[in-house]
Structure 1
Amino acid sequence: MSTPRPPFRVGIIGTGGIAHAHAEALQSLAPRVEIAGVVDLDRARADAFADRFDVDRVYLDAAELFANERLDLVHICTPPQTHTPLAIQAMRAGVPSLVEKPTALSLGEMDELAAVQEQTGVPVLTVFQHRFGAAARHLAALAGAGELGRPLVATCETLWHRPDEYFDVPWRGRWDVEGGGPTMGHGIHQFDLLFSIFGRWSEVSAFAARQLRPTDTEDVSMALVRFENDALATVANSLVSPHETSRLRFDFAHASVEVRHLYGYTSEDWTFTPAPGLEHLAARWAEGLDSGVVSGHRDQLRAIFDALGAGESPGVGLADARHTLEFAAATYASAFRGATIHAGELAGDDPFVRSMSGGIVPWAPVKQVLA
């Protein structure tokens, strides 16, 4: 009889709002996993978090955590401008990291992460949990096997509402510390799921605007996308839409598949419409669904620990995350330059490699200085 594997030991850096979703997901996977320690510059907040989630050890910086704990994974749940330095620190300490979106503030930072990952052999993963819900995994399997026919058309909408007060948090709505607006921080989950189903995008033509919110960044963006397989899609990201919805529709040659939700879906949120004469596909679709389980961090964490336990590479790795982040950069570059942007075009010394704003935001009061 094989010896049971000891629990995976994880750390959490940052104990703000999103860290609670991580901790709740981790607790739901107990006793397979345990939270070994947490880090926050705010000791009172860290103590309250540790009390709530029954964590014994609290640290004031990541170096203390890495020096004192043996970790299988560290969760980086801090503001976006800290993601890259903390992930590099984790790699240097030999600890794989799971980073909240966006993984980095720019393509240049993503390439820096990739260089350190190559040196250390330690992976950096990104939280893109919508890929891992039962319905999305089932859709990916059916599409990958060719059962739905060729991908043709998609619609991807993240239409949310955030009041002015939402941006009172100092790091929100700023290019230098958040990286961008809803394209970077909100819609990215939806279009990442789109890419995981339809494949790699090849070109984008986009608009972006600041319609209402007191931000440096956009509060709306819209893009027309072509894929390498010649499928077409529209992608809309908004923070000024009172009727909030998250919607993805995939039209294949043999079926249309749509999901409507807000921050997480269940299998009941999906609809499947077979093409005339292919009604038997509806039964195939129904085979891979669960019931009432909301997609979230737990799905991705379970997949990560399954992969780590089997000695396999977990998702979502840097290559996939960079492809998604490159789309955000291309959206901004297309909008601000008024030109179609092709995959791979943003490279080298291009300003949009260094910063998502490219230093040419049209509504900026003065010419921006790149970070």
Structure 2
Amino acid sequence: MPERLTVAVVGCGIGRTHILEGYLPNSDRYRVVALCDVNAERLSALAGEFDIERRCTAFDEVLAMDDIDVVDICTPASIHYGQIMAALAAGKHVICEKPLVGSLKEIDEVIAAEKRSKGKLMPIFQYRYGDGVMKARKIIDAGIAGKPYVGTAETFWQRLPEYYQVAWRGKWATELGGVLMSHSIHIHDMLMWLMGRPAALFGRVATRIHDIEVEDCASATLEMESGALASLTATLGAREEISRLHLAFENVTFESSHFPYSLGDDPWRIVPRDEKVKAEIDALLSGWKPVPRRFAGQMRDFHTAIVEGREPPVTTSDARAALELVAAFYHSARTREEARFPIGSDHPYYESWIPQRSPSGSA
């Protein structure tokens, strides 16, 4: 029986999915003992559903619980930074929903705080978990795929007006961005996980669908560090929802499933260059054991990392790469110039990409 870690889930929206998909399938590894939410009615309902006795409406109460090993932060993005820093200072392990924080300055401060803390921090990128994407990663890591050539990442999702009736959505101050921060950040992380980090980006953003402050459409071309080229397109106005990765390597072409919220799952199309490459792939994947998908897989691997004293399966460095891409996107779109990587503390968007407003309220 593996060591069980005690968990406090903070935020009862996506927090319910973390419990249902992440902790219950790993009940031999975790025990959710506390819930926290500012909405007492929602808190009571979720606690009742999963028979969780300990309930609180103040985050500080969670930090004061000596028996809590993991604080799972599922709150709006604008308050992640303060909660992460406080939890790490309290010596807790931390799991936090995307986007991790709202600037590169903040993520660098979080990275420094994690190094000082006895706790580890894992950002949530659950779409890395699924048999399709894991097989692709295994083939690439084995060197079978060869040199990356080009790739596309498409996020064609739909969000209706009622989605933005939730008070914090669609606003720079609370959502910290639009489709780039809250939706396509997943597939963009996956593209970098499979093809490597970018060297340059030329992008555009637009607000074409909803009466909101932030962008709901975006598109960019990337030059990767490897020399490969990639394109990213995202919208929240699609009539048919799909997500799709299509990656051409020297020896293999990969095309993901099109499921918008299960992108890592099979079936992925894996097309080898010839019979020799096919034989290498077949040998590599012989005896493949299914990978727990989404939160189940990520929470399982986080437990293993904590118990064995290793780095989490998704790291703060991964979260920084995702935010660096966002910063480059906004910088390129507003300056109409190419953005270059890496983005350091001397970059104009290092501290924030949120538009400054005049005293009158105009941007």
Contact 1:154 1:249 in 2 (8 A): yes
Which aligned pairs between 1:83-232 and structure 2 lie closer than 5 A?
83-232=80-229
Q: Which residue of 2 aligns with 1:347?
A: 345
Contact preservation (8 Å) 2:130, 2:294: yes
Structure 1 residue corresponding to 2:307, chosen from 300, 306, 309: 309
The answer (yes or no) to whether the contact 2:128–2:294 under 8 Å persists in 1 is no
> Residue deviations 1:301-335, cap 9 Å, x none?
01101111212111211111101110011111111
After superposition, the C-alpha distances for 1:265-288 in whole angstroms (9 at most, x for unaligned) are 464321111113433245247537
Identify the residue that residue 269 of structure 2 maps to in structure 1. 271
* Of 28, 31, 42, the match for 2:25: 28
Partner of 1:280: 279
Distance 1:284 1:240, change over 3 A: farther
How much has 1:5 moved relative to structure 2? Answer: 4.2
Judged with a 3 Å threshold, the aligned counterparts in structure 2 of structure 1 residues 153 and 166 are, in CA distance, closer, same or farther, namely: same
Q: Which moved more, 1:84-93 or 1:121-130?
A: 121-130
* Equivalent residues of 1:173, 1:215 under 8 A apart: yes
**Cross-structure match for 1:45:** 42
User: Any unmatched runs of 5+ in structure 1?
Assistant: none
* C-alpha distance 213-177 of structure 1, shift in aligned 2 (>3 A): same
Q: Secondary structure at the match of 2:278?
A: coil
Report the counterpart of residue 330 of structure 1 in structure 2: 328
Q: 1:285 to 1:179 in 2, by over 3 A?
A: farther
Deviation at 1:161, TM superposition (A): 0.6
Listed as ranges, the matches of 1:236-255 within 5 Å are 236-255=233-252
Aligned AA (1:196): W
List structure 1 segments (4+ residues) > 6 angstroms apart after TM superposition. none
Q: Using the TM superposition, name which of 237-246 and 138-147 deviates more.
A: 138-147
SS of match in other structure, 1:241 = strand
- Using the alignment, how far apart are the partners of 1:166 and 1:110 within structure 2? 28
Q: Percent identity of the aligned residues?
A: 29
Cα RMSD (Å) of the superposition? 2.0
The answer on whether the counterparts of 2:29 and 2:300 sit within 8 Å (CA) in structure 1 is no
Question: Within the alignment, does 1:19 sit opposite 2:18 as a pair?
Answer: no
The answer on whether the counterparts of 1:6 and 1:32 sit within 8 Å (CA) in structure 2 is yes
- State the distance in 2 between where 1:265 and 1:302 align: 19
Count of aligned pairs between the two proteins: 358
Aligned residue for 1:81?
A: 78
Report the TM-score, using the length of structure 1 for normalisation.
0.91
- How has the CA–CA distance of structure 1 residues 136 and 334 changed in structure 2, closer, same or farther, with 3 Å as cutoff? same
Q: Give 1:71's aligned residue.
A: 68
Cα 1:279–1:111 change in 2 (3 A) is closer
What are structure 2's unaligned runs of at least 5 residues?
none
Rounded to whole Å, the distance in 2 between the matches of 1:92 and 1:294 is 31
Structure 1 counterpart of 2:260, which letter? L
What amino acid maps onto 1:8 in structure 2? L
Structure 1 SS opposite 2:342: coil
Q: Which has the higher contact order (CA 8 A, sep 6+)?
A: 2
One-letter amino acid of the counterpart of residue 310, structure 2: E
> What is the SS of the residue equivalent to 1:248?
strand
AA in 1 matched with 2:112: A
**8 Å Cα contact 1:167-1:214 kept in structure 2:** no
Secondary structure, aligned partner of 1:130: helix
1:107 CA displacement: 1.3
Q: Which amino acid aligns with 2:18?
A: H
Secondary structure of the residue aligned to 1:88 is helix
TM-score by length of 2: 0.93
